[in-house]
């Protein structure tokens, strides 16, 4: 029997907007044929349509106490509207702010930043139980460590799987993996590797150098955008784990490849270092521009250099992955797997517990979906 997947969203920002629109946009997909924009039309038996948002949590005055279908189009969200969403009868409750909103965000015009409510937060674990949530999706801003840990604990208390889309280390942290193991619950993360984003493009370029015998001398990735994610990342204190997540996703490829193993200068991969030494560009909205450089030495000691400029909409790019990660989390629940789901995490996230090359991750995720591998 096919069951619905009841999801809770933590942080109704741009990524949530694209995800919720995508659930509607792909509502009629029911067979395993290729559908543009989806990696998997079906994940196991699960269609996109089987994902049902039932509750959400936010702290922004403009989003709380609204239906998710309305909250996703409130400011400061700027994600492109590509689909009308009917009323979902799924409310956005007030969550605890904790460290979700940093002081520097309060300096900006309210149209581009968070507007924290003074309303009392609900007990999140109780709400997750009340709404019979299967999977919790964490979309909190970069740097929200306390808040992420609060929601991860709430998921455990309520018996939910947890999909951690941002770079506070939960699914790559042994302590948290043990907690989810003890609770008998699946865990996926950390930090979404977008469908065709800066990390994926950078990894593909690096992989080509390694596979084709070109020695890498230097590489970097600088990203520019105009959404709240980029505004939040203008505070250097908040981005430390984001930088680790992105850097390690590149460095491990070189370290672990049979033709790699040599050292190169530390890789910078993160918000751009343009005029203001950060990657936020006012007015650029959800468009992300990634500038990637790889420099190396090829046959005869001759330089081989690549410059990539990638231009994408940031939020739908991440939703195309989360729509699969949610269905894998439900497969984990159905199969009674506890702890980190290593195959989906390696394929869908930048900072998984087990880092592998993408060619291997692709094989592993297909085996996981077909139940040929435990995790």
Ligand X SMILES: NC(=O)c1ccc[n+]([C@@H]2O[C@H](COP(=O)([O-])OP(=O)(O)OC[C@H]3O[C@@H](n4cnc5c(N)ncnc54)[C@H](O)[C@@H]3O)[C@@H](O)[C@H]2O)c1
Interface positions with ligand X (CB under 6 A): 10-16, 57-60, 95-98, 100-101, 114, 139-142, 144, 147, 165-166, 191-192, 194, 197, 227-229, 232, 314-315, 317-318
What letters, b where the CB count within 10 A reaches 16 and e where it falls short, cover 193-215? bbbebbbbbbbebbbebbeeebb
**Dihedral angle of Cα 253, 255, 258, 264, to the nearest 10 degrees:** 100
> In 3D, which of 114, 102, 109, 15 has the Cα closest to residue 58?
114
Give the tokens for residue 135: 């999977």
Q: Tell the residue number behind the tokens 């009323």, with chain if given.
A: 87
Contact 317, 196 (CB under 8 A): yes
**Smallest distance, ligand X to C-beta of residue 22, A:** 13
Residue 310 vs residues 137, 218, 255: alpha-carbon distances, Å: 27, 19, 25
What distance in Å separates the CA atoms of residue 328 and residue 312, rounded to the nearest whole number?
25
State the nearest-atom distance from the C-beta of 1 to ligand X, in Å. Answer: 33
User: For the chain, how many residues are written?
Assistant: 375
Shorter beta-carbon distance to ligand X: residue 60 or 222: 60
Q: Measured from the CB of residue 48, what is the shortest distance to ligand X in angstroms?
A: 19
**Closest CB 106 distance from ligand X, rounded Å:** 12
- Name the closest residue to ligand X (Cβ): 13
Q: Is the dihedral of CA 368, 138, 256, 358 positive or negative?
A: positive
Q: Could you give the CA distance from residue 234 to residue 278 in angstroms, rounded to a whole number?
A: 6
Q: How many CB atoms within 10 Å of residue 22?
A: 23
| CB-based contact 339:150 (threshold 8 Å) | no
The partner residues of 349 in beta bridges, in order of sequence, read 192
Element (H, E) at 223: strand 215-226
β-sheet bridge partners, residue 340 = 187
Token look-up 């994408």 returns 312
């Amino acid at each position: 029997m096919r069951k619905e997947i009841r999801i809770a969203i933590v942080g109704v920002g741009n990524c949530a907007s694209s995800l919720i629109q995508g659930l509607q946009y792909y509502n009629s997909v029911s067979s395993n044929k290729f559908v543009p924009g989806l990696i998997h039309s079906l994940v196991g038996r699960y269609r996109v349509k089987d994902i049902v948002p039932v509750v959400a949590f936010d702290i922004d005055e403009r989003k709380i106490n609204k239906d998710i279908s309305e909250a996703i189009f409130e400011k400061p969200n700027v994600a492109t509207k590509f689909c009308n969403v009917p009323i979902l009868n799924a409310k956005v409750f007030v969550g605890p702010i904790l460290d979700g909103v940093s002081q520097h965000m309060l300096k900006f015009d309210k149209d581009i930043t968070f507007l924290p409510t003074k309303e009392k937060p609900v007990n999140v674990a109780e709400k997750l139980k009340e709404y019979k949530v299967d999977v919790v999706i964490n979309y909190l801003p970069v740097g929200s460590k306390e808040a992420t840990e609060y929601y991860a604990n709430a998921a455990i208390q309520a018996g939910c799987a947890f999909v951690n889309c941002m770079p506070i280390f939960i699914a790559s942290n042994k302590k948290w993996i043990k907690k989810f193991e003890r609770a008998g619950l699946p865990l996926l993360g950390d930090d979404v590797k977008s469908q065709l984003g800066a990390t994926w493009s950078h990894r593909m370029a690096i992989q080509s150098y390694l596979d084709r015998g070109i020695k890498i001398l230097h590489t970097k990735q600088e990203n520019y955008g105009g959404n709240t994610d980029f505004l939040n990342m203008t505070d250097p204190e908040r981005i430390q784990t984001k930088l680790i997540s992105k850097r390690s996703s590149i460095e491990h490829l070189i370290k672990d490849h049979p033709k790699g193993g040599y050292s190169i200068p530390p890789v910078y991969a993160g918000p751009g270092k343009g005029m203001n030494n950060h990657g936020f560009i006012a007015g650029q909205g959800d468009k992300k521009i990634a500038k990637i450089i790889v420099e190396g030495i090829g046959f005869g000691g001759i330089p081989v250099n690549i410059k990539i400029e990638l231009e994408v909409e940031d939020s739908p790019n991440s939703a195309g992955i989360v729509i699969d990660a949610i269905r894998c989390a439900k497969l984990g629940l159905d199969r009674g797997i506890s702890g980190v789901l290593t195959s989906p995490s390696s394929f869908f996230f930048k900072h998984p517990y087990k880092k592998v090359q993408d060619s291997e991750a692709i094989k592993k995720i297909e085996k996981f979906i077909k139940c040929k591998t435990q995790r």
